[in-house]
Amino acid sequence: MADIAAITKLIEPEAQALGLALVRVAFFGGKSDPTLQVMAERPDTRQLDITDCEALSRRISEKFDEIDPIEEAYRLEVSSPGIDRPLTRVQDWTDWSGFDVRLKVDPPLDGRKQFEGRIIASDGDSVTLGVNKLGEVAVPLAQIASAKLILTDALIKATAPLSTEGADKIIEDAPRRGAGKAEG
């Protein structure tokens, strides 16, 4: 499989040229269905629209067509990190302080492989979580294998779209089956 650190170094300038920040670059699917997943966002809104996804996908594809950094066939997936986003950067822990997170650690910490709790603080080297029945737990960032925000009402409210224009419009391309017919 390709070197993710090297791939990230190739993708980051392409994202930055569009005013985007990378959230995560990862390979999924193994040999049967390899997918290069690129998550990005606008730093000012923490959102990414379809136009941003298309533009970043085009830039990455053009760059990779030139230098071909991945030998095997793969699928490119460019997306927003979503509401229940992964936390992958040191700054994410400060930015999302006060929200609930589920994380896996490796190696285990105090005999546990997984923690779920509220982010209390981060000092750049570790994150402090408020965990039910355990109280405050300090987790070294270097031990976090994966972390993801937990979907809650507070998170949904905090990540509401800046614009909901068009969200209430229904566009119908073709009549639905049985539409306009009276049953009798």
Q: For residues 14 and 171, what is the distance between their CA atoms, to the nearest angstrom?
A: 34
Condensed to tens digits (0 to 9), the pLDDT of residues 131-152 reads 999 999 999 999 999 999 999 9
Condensed to tens digits (0 to 9), the pLDDT of residues 1-37 reads 578 999 999 999 999 999 999 999 999 888 888 999 9
Decide if pLDDT at 182 tops 90.
no
Decide if pLDDT at 167 tops 70.
no
* Torsion from C-alpha of 136, 141, 144, 147, nearest 10 degrees: 80
Residue type for position 176: R
Q: What are phi and psi of 52, to 5 degrees?
A: -60, -45
Confidence of residue 181 (pLDDT cuts 50, 70, 90): very low
156-159 own/partner pairs: CB under 8 Å, 24+ apart: 156/83, 158/99, 159/46, 159/83
Decide if pLDDT at 162 tops 90.
no
